A and B are shown apart, each in its own frame.
Chain A
């Protein structure tokens, strides 16, 4: 096979399949391309018709439409190589159609050789200062995603080459950055513009994010700083906020259960893949977002894994922490994105885990932060320390000490000033107290088992805080207060015989008041994780309430041990819950404290367990408010 340059027909380079083959040299191709380019580089009406034909021929060779045969592709490669050498002859004014064809090329449509030629041309074009750089970067970023035609077929051979194609794109970007040092500045903006939206199809989101994360771990990530990761996290937050909890139960019927909008009934429609009914649109939409978020969470967790194995997790964590502080922490009750932090911490508990806890504590005790951030941070802190298995008891104890000391100082400062409990004015204090109690509900037994920490716990000024005139026990969530007092009593935490006569006075109106309209009083960010695919990253490090050893569980330790052993899978977990029904007290505490998702088969409607794209149908609330 060879290619022939026919001078009488301009640039027409034809592949001859007959025996008369003639390889024509690069120089010949180059000179004919230069001729074609220079022939039209003048005012339109001055261009000779033969020159115009020659140029049009070249434009038609560099045609971006997919489905080229091998001959056409070979011709394209030759033309691209020749163009790479003739960059200086290209002019935006005279060669618009050619340039527009070049920048519309999609590398996913071609084989390795053609891709290489396209990217070489793009690199050369980008190196011409200020002319084509923007278009080149646009073209490369557009190629982060495969075209729809390829995306639709999961088995398309080009998708198998995905990693290679990403690699080629990174190399091209790398070359461009070497030639034009300020290119990353422009690249940042282009990625920002091209970033898919939450409404885009799942494949688009997944491919784009996968490519971005790859770029982040590449050397260019250094130049782009933390932008890429921040963009990804922002996308996750966007998806997260699109999954609604139903409004927190004002509704009597919903008491104890937050229906995720993916209710069982509506899921049945989704699972069957039937057309979307208008009335179920909202529900299906929620489900779709959860599905997208799930896939992206898997990508991000895998990226964190690779960062950990490469040894630059700490650096990535700093970016994540900054991003968490800026967006996630103040996003209204985000549900899943925070687990990125949880997972990052679990990969390096000594450094990242510690940093995260200290950062949250610092925000809480800082006077300059706004109250909502402080309340939110202490909610995160409480939930994190309670739920993260990898956090050592010593760290829990030291953070507890800081929290309690802050609360104690606050009490001393305010004591006696107020005669009437006014939750909203002291909301930061109450959220601190609630956090302390929540952590102790989960960790008291562990702390009690270590003599040093036990003595530390006994020396904490808990009693003066709880008995202060601010009366946190009246204001904090009744379920937490109840459980805390129960465990404290079993552990004889309070030396004096002070009784806390609040059992009958529990009044959640107060708690609602301090939580404000955002109900931060009942926000526990690290409640059990409900996304199916990415759950495998979180589960091993996650402490379920049903697995927590409480201080009062000594009396029936045998049962407890059996139950704990049985917790490994969901079915047995279910047994535990049904067994425990006999014991009123345990049932009470479980129903209130455990936010463990019920297995889907608990509900008759959710019979199809193998429906991979579905989230658990129902979750229990963090806390059920009592009206």
Chain B
């Protein structure tokens, strides 16, 4: 599957003075608030992080409320699908008009009928809605199947965040949900379950 990458990041996390008692906890909490949200800085969704806090000294950053700036190195696992990348998802809903899948357990994708290969036909077998291939008898897509498809379009949603506002030194990121719309006309095919 494409679209996953690991990056090293040098970050400065702002810690409110009230959280100074347990700064490690505060740092982890701030970073956790970024999980599964789209971040413009990294151009992707942070799926996991590993933190190495460089030193125990923090700069006091002059502001209205003087926060501590904790410098740290973080290893981030990012999910950033681009157009035409191949990604995999688990089918959660099937209809004549569309296939809905979930990628990596958090991102939802839908493949509309016009993007589904013509050899895949919708029918109902034993009360179950399936897309079955006309060329290969055992090639069937049903709820629970894993499908691989290429990204046709993806959308990132941005909105004002609250607590994350002060997180990164050089960002005003408040990115949030990352919903991608992934379609592929030809390459949609089923993996063996």
Contacts and interface: CB of A to CB of B under 8 A. Distances in A.
A496 interface: no
Interface string B111-140: 011100000000000000000000000000
A179 B179 contact: no
A185 B177 contact: yes
Interface string A179-206: 1111001100000000000000000000
Interface in A122-148: 124, 127-130, 133
B21 interface: yes
B97 interface: yes
Interface stretch (A68-76, A83-91, A339-347, A420-428): A83-91
A127 B101 CA distance: 10
A86 B100 contact: no
Nearest to A133: B179
B105 A181 contact: yes
A127 B102 contact: no
A179 B100 CA distance: 7
Interface string B153-182: 001010000000000000000001111110
Contacts of B21: 368
Nearest to B113: A88
B150 to A, nearest CB: 16
Nearest to A134: B157
B185 interface: no
B124 to A, nearest CB: 13
Given A85-B96, A180-B179, A185-B177, A129 B106 contact: no
Contact of A179 (B108, B112, B181): B108
B155 A130 contact: yes
Contacts of A130: 155, 157, 177, 179, 181
B70 interface: no
Contacts of A88: 97-98, 112-114
Interface residues of B, number: 27
Interface string A359-398: 0000000001000000000000000000000000000000
A127 B110 contact: yes
B93 A127 contact: yes
Which of B100, B102, B108, B114 has the most chain A CB within a 10 Å cutoff? B108
A385 to B, nearest CB: 29
B108 A180 contact: yes
B176 A185 contact: yes
A88 B99 CA distance: 11
B85 interface: no
Given A129-B181, A130-B179, A85 B105 contact: no
**What range describes how many residues of A lie at the interface?**
10 to 19
Contact of A87 (B98, B176, B178, B181): B98
Nearest to A126: B108
Contacts of B177: 130, 182, 185-186
B108 A129 contact: yes
A78 B98 CA distance: 20
Contact of B95 (A85, A178, A180, A185): A85
B97 A87 contact: yes
Contact of A129 (B36, B97, B114, B179): B179
A182 B95 contact: no
B109 interface: yes
Contact of B109 (A86, A129, A133, A368): A129
Nearest to B102: A181
A86 B98 CA distance: 10
Contacts of B157: 130
B92 interface: yes
A69 B169 CA distance: 61
Contacts of B181: 129-130
B105 A129 contact: no
Contacts of B105: 181
Contacts of A181: 102, 105-108
Interface string A402-434: 000000000000000000000000000000000
A124 B99 CA distance: 11
A128 B110 contact: yes
A186 B36 CA distance: 13
Contact of A127 (B36, B106, B108, B176): B108
Contacts of B179: 129-130, 133, 180, 182
A387 B88 CA distance: 59
Contacts of B97: 85-88
30 contacts: A85-B95, A85-B96, A86-B97, A87-B98, A88-B113, A88-B114, A127-B98, A127-B100, A127-B110, A128-B98, A129-B109, A129-B110, A129-B155, A129-B179, A129-B180, A129-B181, A130-B177, A130-B179, A133-B179, A178-B92, A180-B179, A181-B106, A181-B107, A182-B108, A182-B177, A182-B178, A182-B179, A185-B177, A186-B177, A368-B21
Interface of A: 85-88, 124, 127-130, 133, 178-182, 185-186, 368
Interface of B: 21, 36, 92-93, 95-98, 100, 102, 105-110, 112-114, 155, 157, 176-181
Nearest first, the 9 A-B pairs at minimum CB distance are: A130-B179, A129-B179, A130-B155, A180-B108, A88-B112, A181-B106, A88-B97, A182-B177, A129-B108
